[in-house]
Amino acid sequence: MAEKATTPPILQGPTAKEKKYDRQLRLWAASGQAALENAKVLFLNSNSGVVGVETLKNLILPGVGSFTIVDETKVSELDLGVNFFLEESSLGRWRAEETCKFLQELNPEVKINALRESIDAFADDPNRLEQYSLVLLIGPTRNARVLERICQHADKSSIPLFYIHCQGFFSQFSLQLPAQFPIVDTHPDPASTQDLRLLNPWPELLELLEKKTGNLGSLSDHDHGHVPYVLILLHFLNVWKASHDGQAPANYSEKKQFKALVESGARTNNSEGGEENFDEAAAAVLKSLNTPSISSGLREVFESDDCQNLKSTSANFWVIANGIQKFHTSHNGILPLPGALPDMKAQSSDYIQLQNIYKAKARSDLAAVTQTIRSSEQEVGRKSSIEQAEIEAFCKGAQFVKLIHGRPIRVAKCSAEIDWSDRAKALSQEIQDPDSLLPIYFAFLALDRYQDDIDRIQKLRKPTDDQQFNDIMAGRVVSGAVPPLPTFAESAHFSTPAVDPEHDPKPWPRFDIPEARETFDNVVKELDRADWGELHNIAALTGGMVAQEVIKVITKQYVPVNNTCVLDGIASKTAVFKI
């Protein structure tokens, strides 16, 4: 009697969410998408805010969790000309609410809120920022106090803050990150992440080597041409060591000789005139036969006091870093094996077998690190254990970990100079380049100071007490006590005194060459001509750039700018500066 046929299981296709976000999932995976969907973004608008709206657009489409717009302004005719998320019926209504209504149409899954209030309320109440994951603040702010207080609150709560300017053909944004902002998944070039561990093979790999290359010369042409190049390199390393006192190729000259040795082992009496697997082996010599070392970024992490001295309150990052540092020390300078194997010419069965050996070694190293971490957790009295997936991700990307030290945003006040501290000399040297975009950044600082100056003068024009009111009414105000409002161009030269950065305790970058001076003056004229207005194309481009950096910060993947980016829309150039 024939056996009854069984119905094969139904294949599970992608979910609706996976289809919707397919391309971005390939960039930052499910973990990054989850971080994005849990994020709460605060948008503080102190100008027309088109650049901020364009930023939000680029965050709503990939599915940011929620955002809140804080704006006390009503829609004007000017707004209708530059903000694509308003229409004629919006005129005279609250701008925050109208903007939210049209942004919501982009992605109904995103939670959108609007608050009709001044950003001063957020500057005065530090607790209001704590519920948010990230803050977008549009400049220029009404006065320096608002910017300074918000920066301080964000820094105290370790909330990333973007301060964005966009006016005329120019824009810039500065990023204030927490004092320590570690990134494990930096997405390095795949070609640089291959750790084949050829100079430190383990027993299982050597056993496979003997099995596949013990009689290399007697293999058939087909089998000889399909030996994985990893095993070819290991085989000829043994040949080399036999005539070099057991030492592997140590310098460029020796590696060139070793490469020639590998190439000499290829069979050329075939239709191809060579073998692809031997070509792969020769090409991998220089990048695969290197003494184990760690990157400068990882060394900085290992040497940090937070890594060396764990506490019960230590962040997961430092606990895992401590475990990997101990593994590195106990294994003669070797990091946990990532386990990834590059593609290569080989028979499927051989490749799978080799791949399994690498994966098994990676799991073994991971288990050793995990055991160390569990012991450390008990020693310091941590209340919760770190998830295995987080430890595994760190082990795979340990070599390329990046620890960014957040820098404060520079606040320009009408009554005080900026202290450039450690950046004064570098910025002074940078400004000497006639093609530098740094003058654009200084021009926006001038705009901040000018706005602060206007706010101060306007307050002087308003009676603040009975005596001042009586003096004004009696005409007894001393000449100059209430100065006239200056133009931006008249007040923009605050940032240009020629001082010596080697000796001045609060030095400003210098404008010592005519080209830099001329560039600064031209930017000031353009900003003055724009008269606080935004061009939509520049705002849209800047919004896309900011949104990209926001996603990096939220997902803690890739490496965000550190810490200021400038756009010259006239020359179509961008530049990043550490300010």
Q: What average pLDDT score do residues 277-301 get?
A: 90
Domain boundary, last residue among 403, 432, 447: 403
Tokens of 116: 């009709």
CATH code for position 68: 3.40.50.720
Count CB neighbours of 470 within 10 A. 11
| Within-domain flag for 208 | yes
**With 50 as the cut, is the pLDDT of residue 128 above it?**
yes
| Within-domain flag for 12 | no
Do 259 and 395 lie in one domain? The reply is yes
Domain boundary, last residue among 511, 530, 549: 530
| Within-domain flag for 3 | no
**With 80 as the cut, is the pLDDT of residue 523 above it?**
yes
- CA dist 87 → 83, 114, 242, 355 (Å): 9, 17, 80, 58
Do 113 and 57 lie in one domain? The reply is yes
Residue 460: pLDDT band by 50, 70, 90 thresholds? Answer: low
| Within-domain flag for 544 | yes
**With 60 as the cut, is the pLDDT of residue 311 above it?**
yes
The single residue listed with the structure tokens 């005065």 is 124
C-alpha span between 514 and 516 (Å, rounded): 6
Do 388 and 427 lie in one domain? The reply is no
Do 302 and 433 lie in one domain? The reply is no
Do 374 and 256 lie in one domain? The reply is yes
| Within-domain flag for 30 | yes
Do 367 and 385 lie in one domain? The reply is yes
Q: Are strands 564-568 and 573-577 parallel, antiparallel or unpaired?
A: antiparallel
Average pLDDT taken over every residue of the chain = 86
Higher pLDDT, 241 or 491: 241
- CA dist 561 → 184, 404, 474, 482, 548 (Å): 16, 10, 56, 42, 10
Least confident span in 352-366, 472-486, 562-576? 472-486
Higher pLDDT, 316 or 488: 316
Q: What average pLDDT score do residues 292-303 get?
A: 91
Q: Which domain holds residue 383?
A: 190-403
C-alpha span between 141 and 153 (Å, rounded): 16
Closest CA to 576 of 404, 397, 419, 399: 404
**With 80 as the cut, is the pLDDT of residue 346 above it?**
yes
User: What's the pLDDT score for residue 269?
Assistant: 85
User: What's the pLDDT score for residue 70?
Assistant: 93
Do 453 and 479 lie in one domain? The reply is yes
Q: Is 30 exposed, middle or buried (0-12, 13-18, 19+ CB in 10 A)?
A: exposed
Contact 568, 170 (CB under 8 A): yes
Least confident span in 1-10, 128-137, 337-346? 1-10
**With 80 as the cut, is the pLDDT of residue 468 above it?**
no
Do 222 and 365 lie in one domain? The reply is yes
Domain boundary, last residue among 403, 438, 455: 403
Residue 475: pLDDT band by 50, 70, 90 thresholds? Answer: very low
Q: What average pLDDT score do residues 316-324 get?
A: 96
Do 561 and 545 lie in one domain? The reply is yes
| Within-domain flag for 410 | no
Least confident span in 9-13, 250-254, 529-533? 9-13
Three-state SS for 398-437 is HHHCEEECCCCCCCCECCECCCCHHHHHHHHHHCCCCCCC
pLDDT digits (tens, 9 = 90+) for 58-109: 999 999 999 999 998 999 988 888 888 999 999 999 999 999 999 999 999 9
Of 405-419, 494-508, 561-575, the range with the highest mean pLDDT is 561-575
3-state secondary structure of 576: strand
Do 48 and 84 lie in one domain? The reply is yes
| Within-domain flag for 141 | yes
Report the number of distinct structural domains present in the chain.
3
**With 70 as the cut, is the pLDDT of residue 501 above it?**
no
Do 399 and 431 lie in one domain? The reply is no
| Within-domain flag for 408 | no
Do 217 and 365 lie in one domain? The reply is yes
Closest CA to 48 of 167, 169, 161, 134: 167
pLDDT digits (tens, 9 = 90+) for 24-43: 888 888 889 999 999 999 99
